[in-house]
Each structure stands twice: as structure tokens, then as C-alpha cells.
Amino acid sequence: MPDKSKETGKEKKMPHPGEMTICEATEQMLVKARKDGVETAFDRAATMKACPIGADSACCKHCSMGPCRLNAKDPYAKVGVCGATIDTIMARNFARMVASGASAHTDHGMSMLDVFREVVNGNIPDYKIKDVLKLESVARSVGIEVEGRTQEDIAKELYEELERTYTQVDGEIPFMKRVPAKTLETWRKQGIVPRGAMREIMELMHRTHMGVDQHYENITRQCSRTALSDGWGGSMVATEISDILFGTPVPVAADVNMGVLKENMVNIIVHGHEPNLFESMLESVNEPTLIQAARDAGADGINLVGMCCSGAEMMSRHGVPHAGNFMSTEAILVTGAVDSMAVDVQCIKQGLAKVAECYGTYLFTTNPRCHIEGAQHIEFHEHTPKETTDEIVIKSISRFKSRKMPVEIPQITNTGIHGFSHEYINYMLGGSFRGSYTPLNDNIINGRIRGVAGVVGCTNPRVKHDEVHVELVKELIKNDVLVLQTGCSQISLAKAGLLTPEAAYLAGPGLREVCETVGMPPVLGMGSCVDNSRILVAAAEMVNVGGLGESIADLPAAGAAPEWMSEKAISIGHYFVASGVYTVFGVTFPIVEKTKFHDLLFNGLEQQGLGKWGFSPDPREMARMMIAHIDKKRKELGIDKARERVLVDMSDRRAMA
Ligand code: SF4
Ligand code: MSK
């Protein structure tokens, strides 16, 4: 590709793709893209320097008296034209990232709830309630009586109840019933229990308008309330309703990486976040008439593949192969083997349109919220889902027939086990009669497992793709920390081969023993980025089972998003922090150090009984910080010295009597 830095007269050597990613398939395609003269986000990140003032969040453009730029090196030297201080400006910018991220998850969850209502009312014959047990357990968890009632009755009441998550203007959202009592008590004391997601997001946008909330502590409170309405609201509803409609994941072997594309098949990729489109596409590619049409076109069949988060969800539920995470979505089109990519919402790079055009691949947008200039829009209607997906399959077959570009598919595939829902972990550890988290807590108490870490989030071309995720997770499991994963991070580790039971050999002796006994990987993949709510439910369950404190903040646990890039990631990070979890981000942290707002996020919130933020771009340092926190919590719980579980025998029982 042309080196733009030369055009502008500034000499800047473009790094070799091998310096930009550890994913060999992505590297191979980036090399090919350069040969083909095709530009990707990796190239743009290398030539476009990030704005340092924006990176520090030291600028404000909330009104036309500005934009105002403050000096990150001397943050209290200046204020904005209106007098806004660096703390106000940073808190407002940070809060707006949370508002945007939370609204993405909330709107996704609301779409799922719309589908649920229409299915329950019998208006979408193509979908039905697949998981009745999950329907009942979610209903029970929000206080709905299920005994002796019809499925339809329960579902209707559950819809009414969960709608409050979004529309309620006062009171507490339904899933507050799942929060451990002491955590909830802290939130009530702080005034951060969410009323309804729409209200919280609206209020946060209002408060961050010019001339409204100008105290960073008060802005942060509403920021926490909004983030909690995402994690325990919008995201949790999205996960639970998707499980009810399409099935709760159980472990399944699935292939990951670009080798899942097949040269002699019609390759269709679905990329985005909402499972509806993908579920319907799965039906369409199994339609005998369409399979025959593909054969008539000379193909061996139709190959459906996922990417990004809806891909992670479909892989977890159905074992659909997954071609790669966020930073591989342009690179995969360079194979020339993709006949179409259908997208819905979130993390869809506009750059895909240009790359797709270069390789004659169809790029279909399907959601009314997401059109892209240069892409074909075929709207997906929930009431007639197969009309859209059938049309996409037919167009993909026509592209296969007229493929002009040479095809080059990196022959790399990694098989792993995915689909560890909270419900399955419960069953896996305790069996069907004694399903519970007790064995997990016991193994944490006796020290075999040092603690639990959630490693999640995006990939980002500002760091070496996949490397920070992989190095961090390897370091954590080596130190006996069990890792839970979602989203693009899960795909990074799957490509590194760590989502297999055999990867236990990389774990410390305690974690390794537990993994070998249960037959589980040391890294458990739980699904997409909205499925981070599964980690919240697991954390609540660990508290409820007992022995590890009374609130989520007491748990020997930590979280990380080592290669984050999206506003959704900031919302996720903040709902984990507000829930009581120490959460470490990599790449960059969008505020200025040595300011009052920084101190509040990195220390003050913990003193209020919540969690706290941490930052390091270095995976080993990140692991050290997380492990130190886990050890601190173990000490506070009095379990810092490894203890074997004492088995109670008959003489002990007699002594107790
Ligand atoms: Fe500047 Fe204040 Fe306007 Fe922001 S709100 S742009 S700090 S004058
Ligand atoms: S897709 S939000 S890049 S995880 Fe959920 Fe991946 Fe991050 Fe998007």
C-alpha cells in the first residue's frame, strides 16, 4: 500500500505486519493486503498519531465558547472559558463514554425484549422459547411465581417485569434482586441503585451538558448508576432473553481462526452483536433448496462463520466456527474467499466497505440503526427474519459463482471448548443433584485456586493485536488464577490454544489439579461482550454460597480489558468497578494522572465500598497488580495461608452434637 507519510513529506516507516499482530493468519492477510494495495485499520493506526489532548480527555467541546483545551502536564494551570476545571471536563467526558456504551447494551437488550414479547404473543412463528428451564429460573430470580402456571403466562409476566429495566422512572430495576445484600446496601447508601436505564442515561446526558453538574464526585455517582443499569440491566436482560429464546450455552468444541473458511464453499460471515440475525442465518444456510442452489453454482455447500461478538455467542450456543476478533474483520476479506459479510450493530468498522469492494465481497448492513455508505442494506425484520437471510444467502451464492479474485486462506484453525454459562459452571462443579459454586469457593478457600479474573474486551491496533490478552492470561493461570473470558479477548486466547483442557499444563499446580479433576480448561469462555453479565451473576453466586465475604468487593477477584477500544468497554469497566471489582485497563486510560478525578476512580471509590480502576499497558505488570489485589482480599478474608478443607467424620459429628 502507498505510504501516506511519504506523501505528506514526513518519513515514517510502516511497521511490518508481524510487528502489529501475533495472529499469524491476520499477519498473512496484512502482508497480502499491502501487496494488493489495500489499506486497513492497522495501517491507519500506524500513520495517524492519536491526539494527545483527546487521549488525556483534557479538552471539552460541550459548547461553542470552546472547544477548550487544558494542559495535561499542568492540569490546574487553566480552566475552560466557562470556568470548568480539569476534573469537571474529564468526569463529563468519561461519563459520556459510559452513557454511550450503556445505551449500546441497553438498546441491544431492548431489541431482544421486543423479540421476546412478539414471540410470546405468537407474532414471530420462526422463533420460540427454547429454554423453558431458563425461563423459569429467570422468572424466579425476579420474584415471579412459576409453580402451576403455563409457560405463556410466566413469559408474559416476565416480559412486563423486565420492561421495567428500561422504562421505570422510580424504584429499583428487577435484577437488583440478584445483587448480594451487602453490595446492594452500599449502592443504596451511595444513591446509585439504577431506577431504569433510559432514565439513568438521560439524566447522565443532562448532567454532563454545559453548565449543569460541575462536581466530579457527583458526576461520578450518576456515572456509576448508569453503568450499573447496563451491567445488571440492559446487558443482563440481553443475555437472559437470548438464552431463553435460543438456548443457554453448554460446553461445545468449536474451531476458531481464518482456516474455518472453505475455498470450495459459499462463505458467509455474520459479524455484530444481536443474535437474531445470526440465528435466522443458521436456519437459511440449512435450507435444502439453498444448499442445492449452492451446489448448482459449483460449491460443495454453504459455510456459515461468525466474527466478533455475535460470532462468540453463536459459537457458544451452537458451535458455529469463528473466524476472528475485531481487528481481523478487514483482514479476513483480503482472503478473497468471503462471499458476503452480513453485519448488524456495534464494532463494525466503516473501513470494511472499501476492503469488501476491493475483493468483490458483498457487505450487507441489516439493522435500521446501522447503514454504511458503500454497503448494500437489506433490512432485517424480526417478524419475517428468513426473508432477509435467505436473500443474503442467494446473493452470496451468486458471488461464489462469479468469484474473480484469487483465493488465499491462511490454513490455521484452533479447536477449543466454549460455552461456559453460569448455569453450566454450577452443574460442572456440583453435578445435577448438587449443582453449586461450593466446590469453587472451597478450592479458593483451600488455596488451590488463588482467585478469579475476568479478562475481556476488544482488540486495538494501538497495541500488538492479541498479544496483551495472551500474555496477561498466561501469567494469571500460571499463578493459579482461574480466568473467565468474553468477547474478542476470548477469541485471542482461543487462537492461542488456551481454551482447551490440555492448556491446564500452563497453569500453576493448584489450578492445574482442579482443571484436571473436573476436565475443564483453565480459561473459561462465556460468550459475547453483553455476556459479561454472566460474570456478574457468577460473582454474586460466589458471595451467596458463602465463605468469601459478604459483598462482591470482598471476593479475591479482579477484571481486565487489556486491549480495549470502545465506549462499551468503559461502561463495562465502570459497572465492574461499581459492583466492587478491581478493574485494570490497558492501551491507554482516558484521563490525566495526578488529578482529583483520577484519584477518585483509582482510590476513592474503593473507600466507598465499591471497586476501583487500575491501568497498565504492560501485561505482566497488569497481572502483578491483579494478583496483588487478589492476595490482599485473601488476607482480608483470612485465607491467605493455604488451608486444606477439613472433612468432617463421624467422631467430629458426635463432638458437634
Ligand atoms: Fe469550554 Fe466550558 Fe464550553 Fe466546555 S462547556 S467548551 S469548558 S466553555
Ligand atoms: S465486539 S466491544 S471489540 S469485545 Fe463485542 Fe469485541 Fe470490544 Fe466490540
My answer on whether 602 and 478 are in the same domain is yes
488 CA from centroid of ligand 2 (Å):
6
Q: What pLDDT is attached to residue 652?
A: 47
Q: Flag whether the pTM goes above 0.75.
A: yes
pLDDT at position 651: 54
Does the residue 309 lie in any domain? Answer: yes
Query: pLDDT at residue 263 above 50?
Result: yes
Last residue of a domain, one of 401, 435, 465: 401
Residue at a domain's end among 221, 246, 271: 246
Ligand 1 pocket test target in 57, 61, 82 with most atoms within 8 Å of CB: 82
* Distant-in-sequence, close-in-space partners of 171: CB < 8 Å, separation ≥ 6: 164, 195
Q: Which atom of ligand 2 is nearest to the CA of 530?
A: 5
Task: Give dist(CA 149, CA 447) in Å, integer.
Answer: 45
Give me the pLDDT at residue 5, please: 43
Q: Which residues surround ligand 2 with Cβ inside 6 Å?
A: 273, 308-309, 325-326, 347, 457-458, 487-488, 528-529, 566, 568-569
Shared-domain flag, residues 526 and 555: yes
332, 343 contact by CB (below 8 A): no
Query: Are 378 and 490 in the same domain?
Result: no
Residue owning the nearest CA to atom 7 of ligand 2: 458
Whole-number Å distance, alpha carbon 218 to ligand 1 midpoint, is 18
Span 369-409, pLDDT tens digits: 999 999 999 999 999 999 999 999 999 999 999 998 899 99
Looking at ligand 1, which atom is closest to the CA of residue 68? 1
Is there a single domain that holds both residue 131 and residue 273?
Answer: no
Q: What is the mean pLDDT of residues 139-158?
A: 96
Q: How far is the CA of 70 from the centre of ligand 1 (A)?
A: 11
Residues 605 and 462 in one domain: yes
| Domain assignment present for 27 | no
How large is the average pLDDT for residues 340-359? Answer: 97
Would you say residue 55 lies in a domain? Answer: no
- Residue 499 CA: distances (Å) to CA of 38, 523, 538: 33, 6, 19
What is the SS3 assignment for 120-178?
HCCCCCCCCCCCHHHHHHHHHHCCCCCCCCCHHHHHHHHHHHHHHHHHCCCCCCHHHHH
Of 197, 231, 246, the position where a domain reaches its end is: 246
The size of the chain, in residues, is: 657
Q: What's the CATH number where 621 sits?
A: 3.40.50.2030
Tell me if 627 is assigned to some domain.
yes
Q: What value does the mean pLDDT take over residues 446-471?
A: 97
**Which of 273, 308, 349, 531 to mutate to test ligand 2, by most ligand atoms within 8 A of the CB atom?**
308
Residues 182 and 298 in one domain: no
Q: Which of 53, 59, 62, 214 to mutate to test the pocket of ligand 1 (most atoms within 8 A of CB)?
A: 62
Residue 7 domain-assigned?
no
Phi-psi region of 301 (alpha: psi -120 to 50; beta: other; left: phi over 0): left
**What average pLDDT score do residues 164-169 get?**
97
pLDDT in tens, 4-21: 444 444 456 789 999 999
> pLDDT tens for residues 593-627?
999 999 999 999 999 999 999 999 999 999 999 99
Q: Whose CA is nearest to atom 3 of ligand 2?
A: 458
Cα dihedral sign, 355-361-362-365: negative
Q: What is the pLDDT of residue 6?
A: 45
- Taking the CB of residue 214, how many other CB atoms lie within 10 A of it? 19
Separation of CA 65 and ligand 1 centre (Å) = 6
Return the closest-CA partner of residue 40 out of 331, 465, 304, 428: 331
Mean pLDDT, the chain, integer: 94
Full residue range of the structural domain in which residue 378 is found: 252-401
CA terminus-to-terminus distance, the chain: 80
Q: How far is the CA of 93 from the centre of ligand 1 (A)?
A: 12
Is residue 210 one of the residues assigned to a domain?
yes
Specify the CATH number for the domain of residue 121.
1.20.1270.30
Verify that 137 and 238 share a domain, yes or no: yes
Pick the ligand that lies closest to the CA of residue 567. Answer: 2
d(CA 568, CA 574): 10
Please determine, for residue 30, whether its predicted confidence score (pLDDT) is greater than 90.
Answer: yes
Place of cell 443474535: 275
Q: Looking at the CA of residue 60, tell me the nearest atom of ligand 1.
A: 4
Substitution site in 70, 210, 212 for ligand 1 pocket (most atoms within 8 Å of beta carbon): 210
369 and 350 share one domain: yes
325 CA → ligand 2 middle, Å: 8
Query: What is the rounded CA–CA span in Å between residue 246 and residue 302?
Result: 22
Q: In this structure, are 317 and 291 located in the same domain?
A: yes
Q: Which of 234, 226, 229, 207 is nearest to 218 (CA)?
A: 207
Does position 647 have pLDDT exceeding 70, yes or no?
no
Q: Ligand 1 centroid vs 212 CA: distance in angstroms?
A: 12
Pocket test for ligand 2, best of 269, 346, 347, 572 (most atoms within 8 A of CB): 347
What pLDDT, on the 0 to 100 scale, is given for residue 642? Answer: 58
- Residue 590 and residue 564 share a domain: yes
Residue 541: Cβ within 10 Å count: 18
Q: How many domains does the chain divide into?
A: 3
- The number of the ligand 2 atom at minimal distance from the alpha carbon of 326 is 3
Ligand 2, atom 8, lies closest to the CA of 347
Structure-block grid coordinates of residue 502: 490440555
- Ligand closest to 528 (CA) is 2
Kindly state the average pLDDT of the residues 431-458: 88
Report the DSSP pairing between strands 59-60 and 68-69.
Answer: antiparallel
Amino acid (1-letter code) at residue 412? I
What is the C-alpha R_g of the chain?
25
Closest ligand 2 atom number to CA of residue 346: 8
Q: Is the bond preceding residue 67 a cis peptide, omega within 30 degrees?
A: yes
Whether residue 227 is found in the same domain as residue 266:
no
Q: Are residues 137 and 100 in the same domain?
A: yes
Distance CA 81, CA 64 (A): 10
Alpha helix positions (H), 359-486? 385-401, 422-430, 438-445, 467-478
Pocket (CB within 6 angstroms of ligand 1): 60-63, 65-68, 80-82, 84, 89, 210
**Among all chains, which residue has been given the C-alpha cell 440475525?**
277
Dist. CA 57 → ligand 1 center (Å): 13
When pLDDT is averaged across residues 548-576 and rounded to a whole number, the result is 98
* 35 part of a folded domain: no
Q: How far apart are CA 409 and CA 280, in angstroms?
A: 26
Residue 363 has pLDDT above 50, yes or no: yes
Asked whether the predicted pLDDT for residue 644 surpasses 60, the reply is: no
**Does residue 21 belong to any structural domain of this protein?**
no
For the stretch 69-121, pLDDT in tens is 999 999 999 999 999 999 999 999 999 999 999 999 999 999 999 999 999 99
Phi and psi at 75, nearest 5°, equal: -65, -20
For ligand 1, what atom is nearest to the CA of residue 211?
5
Distance 215 CA to ligand 1 centre (A): 14
pLDDT at 657 over 50: no
Residue 486 CA: nearest ligand 2 atom is 4
Closest atom of ligand 2 to CA, residue 347: 8
Distance 208 CA to ligand 1 centre (A): 11
Average pLDDT over residues 635-640: 94
Name the percent of the chain in helix, strand, coil, to the closest 5. 50, 10, 40
> What's the rounded Cα separation, in Å, for the pair 420 and 476?
19
Judge contact between 226 and 200, C-beta under 8 A: yes
Nearest residue to 41 (alpha-carbon basis) of 238, 327, 298, 256: 327
